[in-house]
Amino acid sequence: MAQPGSRKWHRTAPQLVLFILLLGWICGVGISGASAQERPESVKPGINEQFLNPALQVDEWVERFETESREVFTAREEIIGALHLEEGMRVADVGAGTGLFTHLFSQQVGPRGWVFAVDISPRFAEHLAGMADRSRRQNITPVLCAEDSILLPPESVDLVFICDTYHHFEYPAGTLASIRRALRPGGRLAVIDFERIPGVSREWTLDHVRAGKETFRSEIEAAGFEIVRELELDGLEENYFLLFRKP
């Protein structure tokens, strides 16, 4: 089998991984082995419905996600700097969407590193594959994940990055378990999400985001992660930035 870094891997990995994981997604089975019938009840039913729509128009989401009015877009360089990425690292961009951070990670980790662009949306996965081809970034593999698993091999990445996506996890326990498996010992989990404070946060946030920072932190720690610290970035006001590690 071709290994990451080989020319054969560069040519085949994105297409093969996308196909294999698409097949697993259609069958309704993640690495956790939980079928759609066996999963626990969703913590936020329907929140991903629009992203699962095969008619999703990616260009519309590029306009929404990659705009100066979006806080994490304007703070993207500050966020990247705070992660202290090194050449050769392997990163999973979970909820990669239109590929904003995927592209930046690809630059940071260099040709000896690797970026797995993970998303639940088939249309976003297709877009990410096309983006990698057009930019000739040979260190990006798009991954179409399951609802309860990121579908990455055990101990395959150094960092998992989740930006404005954790609140979209319908089955957080299963997804977090898959993230913990995918991280190498000592690997880091970075979570950026919206502050949800009644009377302070926007009405959209209160309606859309199911819980606040302390609840999400408790869920992540219960999944076996240790909190490292909360990062304070000048560019983030509506969002918080938590950093965890796998023991």
Cβ atoms of 177 and 246 within 8 Å: the answer is no
pTM of the model: 0.87
208-217 CB burial, b ≥16 within 10 A, e <16: ebbbbbeebb
Per residue in 69-96, pLDDT tens? 899 999 999 999 999 999 999 999 999 9
SS3 content of the chain, % helix, strand, coil (to 5): 40, 20, 40
114-119: strand order across its sheet:
140-144, 114-119, 90-94, 157-163, 183-194, 239-245, 226-230
Domains of the chain, first to last? 7-245 (3.40.50.150)
Cβ atoms of 106 and 36 within 8 Å: the answer is no
pLDDT band at 34 (very low <50, low <70, confident <90, very high): low
Write out the DSSP string of 62-112: HHHHSSTTSHHHHTHHHHHHHHT--TT-EEEEET-TTSHHHHHHHHHH-TT
- Distance, CA of 118 to CA of 131 (rounded, Å): 14
Per residue in 182-233, pLDDT tens? 999 999 999 999 999 999 999 999 999 999 999 999 999 999 999 999 999 9
